[in-house]
Structure 1
Amino acid sequence: MSKKTIVFTGGGSAGHVTPNIAIINELNKNDWEIKYIGSKKGIEKELIKKLEIPYFGISSGKLRRYIDIENVIDLFRVIKGCVDARRVLKKLNPNLLFSKGGFVSVPVIIAASSLKIPIFIHESDMTPGLANKISQRFATKIFTSFEEARNHFPKSKTTVIGSPIRKELLNGSKEQGIEFLNFNSFKPIITIMGGSLGAKKINETVRNSLNELTKNYQIVHLCGKGNIDGSLLGRQSYAQFEYVHEELADIIAASSMIITRGGSNAIFEFLALNKPMLIIPLTKNQSRGDQILNAKSFEEKGFAMMLEEENLTDNSLLNALETLTRNREMFITTMKKSNQSKALDVLITEINKIK
């Protein structure tokens, strides 16, 4: 029996790529040929190349909700992206296109629709981004992380499943994490991550508070590309990295708590791992406000605490961590009842139904 072909798309940030990677890692390679279409220079290219999957770069423009002269230029980039994507898809002739959103996905989805290729999309946030708002009309099936997101899509083709979790994250070793970090097993470990690009305000506040933080905790600081502070290298109870790949599962396994942005994929992963979170979402000045909605939803369900960046100070950070530590077991008990880690299995089953 000949293999079926699946093409993945999605990019612009790690959040639009890691769920695709989770699915790719679980697909049976004897049944599926796997390809990826992304932008020519986006983070998705770097992440997918590590998997040694054929990657096709296309032209992509940014989608903006406001008036800007760049919109005109980017419209032509999107049109060129449609032409690029259609040429690639005609050659690959896939059985299915799976999209995780981001600007680059729109021309790929439009091209796939014109070629009558079935299209699955997954929306991570409570409200859809502009890419998925445009893409929904072309989709065969739509999957969402949040129940609340269902209201923004056609009910007949939308299913709420949660967010696909990378299976390798579930198999981390606490002992190997502690050894890798050169930490001890006595003081609790907090992992701080501000996304693939880091987070300036979070980074500054953490470093300003280090003297107090390291009295009670050991700190793993994933500070983003170009954000290592040389003056803090070798500091006791503090380990900083731009980004970690293979060691992440072990680091999370060793962590008692997480400080994170409000990106849906990340917070669903920590939920599946029962790691109490302090969520510091991107502000409305930095985003469309989706992370704030995600964080509020998790706080209301008892999975996390939220601290808005506008209220982030050395004191508010320390106070929030003290409260999180005090109520840690309560958060873990609530998280264990959530049963929100089945999304990956659902998606694999749905993908395998494709003829």
Structure 2
Amino acid sequence: MRVLLTGGGTGGHTYPLIAVSQQLKLISQQNNLPLELFYLGVDGSSQKGLSSIGAKPYFIFSLKLRRYFSIKTIWDFIKAPFGFCQILFWLYSLMPDVIFSKGGPASFFVVLAGWFYRIPVIIHESDTVAGLNNRLSARFAKKVFIAFDGAKSYFPLKKTITVGNPLRQGIFQIDQASTHSLFKIQAATPVLLIAGGSQGAQFINEKIKPILMELSQKYQVIHICGQDNYEAYQGQISQEKGLNLTSYHLYGSLDESQMSAAYAIANLVVARSGAGTIFELAYLAKPAILIPLPDAAGDHQKINAYDYSQNGAAVVLEQPNLTENILLQRITALLDDPQRLILMAQAAKQFAKPEAALKIAQEILQYAT
């Protein structure tokens, strides 16, 4: 049984591929089924996780489908025939039983080549606004899985199923007893987690810095600023007067188990509103302040955030109107209101769909066996 994974570019594409692969491996082991996993797509740091779960990578030219004209578009047209020939070659060499696509750079061309070879294709769309690669891929797919009901309008209804966003197994495996010691957190103090996603969030870092003194005096703060921002940000905050360094914990990034522990210990999370983040917050029942990335494709983060917050699970603060004082006021208002945090946690749990990865894996296996 040979399964080929494609998609990627950011953690939002890659993490669901990892989650579904973990379920495929678990099911194949339980049923004594042979399984080979391959990844065909563009190279990038977020693809390293796929190698760690046994997916052998094969890299191709980045063939980006743009919604706008750019000088890079000309180069993309030049690369396209060579990139598509690469894909045809690798698919012919590997000849998988099924292709699972998450969208992102070059994924449509892999799906198109798979259709040419009559290989069944299954795709998943994480956001409320479907990406261009997935919209084009849907006509060639046997099944289209989506995370949000709002994305149904982009796909044929007969083959579209809402399952949520696949979550990696590490999110489900939390050692509650060790979380406080891992971050050196005082158990009686409310914990604020600030997370900018797989690529960090420069804007959030800038808005948090002026209010760190107030936050660190009242709460324990775990701040994930992004690996590329870490050294510069560490240097900047070391000069901040009044910052309580015993309460402020700065990290460039966290691995899967550390991130799970940070979620577990947090009373409130400040984050972007990518689909992966939203469904992790929902599964772990974490109240949140969501700050959508304003230049996300199709403004999908904003739509994701408002969709998720409808039942009270989160507060949405839009970046163009956000000031340091507004952010501080919203954080303190929530952390100082335990009853509202309880209601937000209950609303988040109602939104959760923890079996997404399992359902997709089961469907893939139906076509692969």
Relative to the length of structure 1, the TM-score reads 0.94
* CA distance in 2: counterparts of 1:186 and 1:77, whole angstroms: 57
* CA distance in 2: counterparts of 1:323 and 1:89, whole angstroms: 54
Q: Which has the higher helix share?
A: 2
State the partner residue of 1:163.
Answer: 165
Structure with bigger RCO (C-alpha 8 Å, 6+ apart)? 2
- 1:155 alignment partner AA: L
Conserved 8 A contact 1:38-1:44: no
Show CA shifts across 1:105-126 (max 9, x none).
1221111111111000000111
CA RMSD of aligned residues (A): 1.7
Find out whether 1:333 has 2:343 as its counterpart: no
Deviation of residue 258 (structure 1)?
1.1
State the partner residue of 2:311.
Answer: 301
* Corresponding residue to 1:322 among 327, 332, 355: 332
Find out whether 1:39 has 2:42 as its counterpart: yes
Show CA shifts across 1:24-64 (max 9, x none).
11223542211111213x23333323334311011112221
Superposition map of 1:56-75 within 5 A: 56-75=58-77
Match of 1:247, SS state, is helix
State the partner residue of 1:87.
Answer: 89
- 1:282 alignment partner AA: L
Match of 1:17, SS state, is helix
Deviation of residue 18 (structure 1)?
0.3
Find out whether 1:204 has 2:215 as its counterpart: no
* CA distance in 2: counterparts of 1:39 and 1:337, whole angstroms: 36
Show CA shifts across 1:194-250 (max 9, x none).
122211110011121101111222111111122112334692211122211131111
State the partner residue of 2:241.
Answer: none
Identity of aligned residues (%): 32
* CA distance in 1: counterparts of 2:129 and 2:114, whole angstroms: 24
Long gaps (5+) in structure 2 = 239-243
Deviation of residue 310 (structure 1)?
1.2
Conserved 8 A contact 2:37-2:54: no
Match of 1:94, SS state, is coil
* CA distance in 2: counterparts of 1:44 and 1:339, whole angstroms: 25
State the partner residue of 1:19.
Answer: 16
Find out whether 1:230 has 2:257 as its counterpart: no
State the partner residue of 1:247.
Answer: 258
Show CA shifts across 1:85-111 (max 9, x none).
221111111111001110131221111
Conserved 8 A contact 2:36-2:55: no
Conserved 8 A contact 2:194-2:221: yes
Deviation of residue 9 (structure 1)?
0.9
* CA distance in 1: counterparts of 2:172 and 2:269, whole angstroms: 15
* Corresponding residue to 2:109 among 107, 110, 131: 107
Match of 2:353, SS state, is coil
* CA distance in 1: counterparts of 2:283 and 2:321, whole angstroms: 28
Deviation of residue 286 (structure 1)?
5.0
Match of 1:227, SS state, is helix
Using the TM superposition, name which of 232-241 and 341-350 deviates more: 232-241
* Corresponding residue to 2:361 among 335, 348, 353: 348
Match of 2:205, SS state, is helix
Match of 1:315, SS state, is helix
* Corresponding residue to 1:49 among 51, 54, 71: 51
Conserved 8 A contact 1:225-1:243: yes
Long gaps (5+) in structure 1 = none
State the partner residue of 1:6.
Answer: 3
* CA distance in 2: counterparts of 1:80 and 1:324, whole angstroms: 54
Relative to the length of structure 2, the TM-score reads 0.90
- 1:340 alignment partner AA: K
Find out whether 1:152 has 2:165 as its counterpart: no
Deviation of residue 339 (structure 1)?
4.7
State the partner residue of 2:194.
Answer: 192
* CA distance in 2: counterparts of 1:242 and 1:49, whole angstroms: 22
Using the TM superposition, name which of 243-252 and 267-276 deviates more: 243-252
